[in-house]
Structure 1
Amino acid sequence: MTSRLSLAGLCCLVALAGALLLALWSLSLGVFPLSSAALGQVVTGNLSAIEAMVLYELRLPRTIAALLVGFALGMSGCLFQGLVRNPLVAPDIIGINAGAGLAAVALITTGTGLGMVPLAAMGGSLLTALMIYTLAWKAGIVGNRLVLVGVGINAILGALTSYLIIKFPVESVTPALVWAAGSLTMAQWPLLAWLAATLLVATPLTLILLRRLQLLQLGDDSARALGLVVERDRALLLLIGSCLAGAAVAVAGPIGFVALIAPHIARLLAGPLTTGVLLLSGLTGACLVMSAELIARHAMAPVTLPVGLITAATGAPLFLYLLHRENRKT
């Protein structure tokens, strides 16, 4: 156990360093490049007016958003996969992200209450989680039934989102289309503050409840025998995972496959679920979204692609591979 924990800790440090290096690289690149010397002037505050504008208004919000969104998605994916005991589950697959997205698109397309997008996305994710939990309930929750219900809910919510996009005028729909593709272009400091606050509350709660999640992975009967109130603890962890996903969607739209892939990479590097693996899932998610942001902004410059397009293009083949591997096991 000690070696596993130390391995997970070492992987976390490497992932953290990688995420920060990617972030610094992202800040330096662009039509107006910023040298390492200019970035160093951030500490002293000696940036020129144009350097300060480029850094603080254009690049820094997107970079911080990529890190925080990736961390939230990675943590959320790890929670959902542990809860359902299914490595092919993620909030974007069972409809949690779609619920957050539908609520946010409804506000964006109607142009009412745009400042309420974070609350709407969070509320949409929680209502979707409640709906899935209620429909999947049958003298308890079985992981496979919850997944099947979630996939159906995901399809329905996706259709409703498409209906809203078709129904409203082009000028109202364009921002929603950009956001729904999974883009960091709408990342602003108030949204980042909202996401950071969510992470500051949800991350310690997740770490406190990690022992219960580990016991739930033994099966409901074993968990009850060890003193857990199974449904209460499962609902609480589902609530936290949904809040993390909803907060990420509020900032960047429904970025797919990060929550699915990041926990797999963490478990591959550091073994079964521990505190270190949970944090590593978040840090791996941050590295994935930060890498996708670099590709999206610079691969086809001066055109900026949605980050969600990059994660979908790389994540979908990985998902098919994981599905194939799980089928071979059975």
Structure 2
Amino acid sequence: MTNQVLSSNVIRTTRTALGGSTAMARQRRRVLLIGVLCAAALAVLTTIALTTGEVAMSAPTALRAVIGLGDQGDVYIVQEFRAPRVVAGLIAGAGLAVAGAVLQRLFRNPLASPDVMGVTGGASFGSVLVLALGAGQTLIPLGALGGGLLAAVLLGTLGWRSGLSVTRLVLVGLAVQAGLAAAVNLMVVRFPRELAGQAMQWTTGSLYGRTWLEVEGAAIASALVLVVLFLRYRTLEVLDLGDDSAGTLGISVSGARLTLLLTTVALAALAAALTGPVSFVALAVPHLVRLLAGRPTVGTMAVTGLAGATLLVGCDLIVQHVLPINGLPVGVVTATVGAPWLLILMLRESSPVQRRTA
């Protein structure tokens, strides 16, 4: 009898292990498939962005122009206008999406994202302040980073006290975002006329007029921050187990959370330094990736970055070539898509069923 019990336990354990490994393998294949599809979509959207406009050109012509070959007029159009805009969309979309995914896991709440919690509003405030003080374009990323950290400090001071729910923290973040947006609008109104148009993108979010000088600085800084986040991914996984479990495993919970939070704020601020406050990319994309790819892994975080870049570049193409209104900021499109998503999430968070199952 004892041998039979032992044998059944061994069989049950083996089946559980095999089932778990099968599920993990299935998820890896799903993540790989979604990543390939996002990369293919991104390649198609990038090609369309480089070839369409007032001066249409073929894909081979545009790709040659990217590396400086072909007609000099085509090279100038692609390298000075189209390529920086596309690369800015790639960097900002990926940065916002990854930042949103990390914040949602840190706060264990689907409503947490840089734009909802005031970080992108702070980055916009810092960027416009740099312009208002007459500093050069090269200092805009530093201004955005400082503004994002300011928003994080305000959020912590006003809302991060013991006993407050994360939903209330998000509401405080929305208030911080609104206040900083009002400060940006005030500075824009007080700008000289020649600077007001340059600063207007920081009120709604836009990829218009990006230059290689801005893009290169943000690209290098964002790449470094992303490397730090991926190197700290194991810490994020341990924090997912809960503060008590993480503490027993030797993790300084408060220090780890603060490090990840500051790194995430820096990533979102650098994205906002390129685009202004583009809404809801950071909120919606992590949810869609989890819905399609399953539980968070390092692979799903990479796919989240790809999906964010794809979404922002696609929305920018809609702004440029589909909608009949010229000069419409890309933030208007992302906000139109994302506002219903935020409403649905808030209704789910406040529903009695959701609270009982939480």
TM-score bracket for this pair, using the shorter chain length: over 0.9
- The Cα shift of 1:227 comes to 2.1
Please tell me whether the aligned partners of residues 298 and 304 of structure 1 are also in contact (alpha carbons under 8 angstroms): no
- The Cα shift of 1:249 comes to 0.8
Quote the Cα distance in structure 1 between the aligned partners of 2:171 and 2:323.
38
Quote the Cα distance in structure 2 between the aligned partners of 1:305 and 1:44.
29
* Gap regions ≥5 residues in structure 1: none
Q: Normalising by the residue count of structure 2, what TM-score does the alignment of the two structures yield?
A: 0.86
Please tell me whether the aligned partners of residues 184 and 203 of structure 2 are also in contact (alpha carbons under 8 angstroms): no
Which of 292, 302, 324 is the matching residue for 1:269? 292
Partner of 1:58: 81
Deviations 1:77-114 (A, max 9, x none): 11111111111111011111111111111222443344
Provide the secondary structure at the position in 1 that maps to 2:31. helix
Identity %: 36
Partner of 2:92: 69
Q: Quickly say closer, same or farther: Cα 1:303–1:62, change in 2 above 3 A.
A: same
Partner of 2:336: 313
Partner of 2:31: 8
Q: Does 1:21 align with 2:44?
A: yes
Provide the secondary structure at the position in 1 that maps to 2:75. helix
Partner of 2:186: 163
Provide the secondary structure at the position in 1 that maps to 2:200. helix
Give the residue type in structure 1 aligned to 2:276: G
Provide the secondary structure at the position in 2 that maps to 1:313. helix
Give the residue type in structure 1 aligned to 2:191: F
Bigger Cα Rg: 2
Deviations 1:18-63 (A, max 9, x none): 1121111111111111102313434775310111011111111111
Range 214-223 or range 35-44, more displaced: 35-44
Quote the Cα distance in structure 2 between the aligned partners of 1:293 and 1:111.
29
Which of 94, 99, 103 is the matching residue for 1:80? 103
Partner of 2:20: none
Quote the Cα distance in structure 1 between the aligned partners of 2:320 and 2:141.
24
Quote the Cα distance in structure 2 between the aligned partners of 1:102 and 1:236.
23
Q: Does 1:292 align with 2:315?
A: yes
* Gap regions ≥5 residues in structure 2: 1-23
Range 161-170 or range 260-269, more displaced: 161-170
- The Cα shift of 1:267 comes to 0.4
- The Cα shift of 1:188 comes to 0.9
Partner of 1:93: 116
Which structure is higher in RCO with an 8 Å CA cutoff and minimum separation 6?
1
Provide the secondary structure at the position in 2 that maps to 1:130. helix
Range 8-17 or range 275-284, more displaced: 8-17
Quote the Cα distance in structure 2 between the aligned partners of 1:286 and 1:90.
16
Partner of 1:217: 240
Q: Quickly say closer, same or farther: Cα 1:106–1:185, change in 2 above 3 A.
A: same
CA RMSD, aligned part only? Answer: 2.2
- The Cα shift of 1:237 comes to 0.6
Please tell me whether the aligned partners of residues 136 and 142 of structure 1 are also in contact (alpha carbons under 8 angstroms): no
Range 215-224 or range 163-172, more displaced: 163-172
- The Cα shift of 1:126 comes to 1.8
Q: Quickly say closer, same or farther: Cα 1:265–1:160, change in 2 above 3 A.
A: same
Which of 196, 199, 208 is the matching residue for 2:222? 199
Range 293-302 or range 135-144, more displaced: 135-144
- The Cα shift of 1:139 comes to 6.1
Give the residue type in structure 2 aligned to 1:190: L
Range 13-22 or range 154-163, more displaced: 154-163
Provide the secondary structure at the position in 2 that maps to 1:34. coil
Q: Quickly say closer, same or farther: Cα 1:191–1:114, change in 2 above 3 A.
A: closer
How many residues matched? Answer: 330
Q: Quickly say closer, same or farther: Cα 1:194–1:109, change in 2 above 3 A.
A: same
Quote the Cα distance in structure 1 between the aligned partners of 2:58 and 2:295.
41
Give the residue type in structure 2 aligned to 1:151: L
Deviations 1:156-202 (A, max 9, x none): 22222222223334443222113422111131111111221122212
Q: Does 1:127 align with 2:141?
A: no
Partner of 1:185: 208
Quote the Cα distance in structure 2 between the aligned partners of 1:186 and 1:4.
40
Partner of 2:19: none
Quote the Cα distance in structure 1 between the aligned partners of 2:105 and 2:280.
16
- The Cα shift of 1:141 comes to 8.9
Deviations 1:261-286 (A, max 9, x none): 11011101111211011111111110
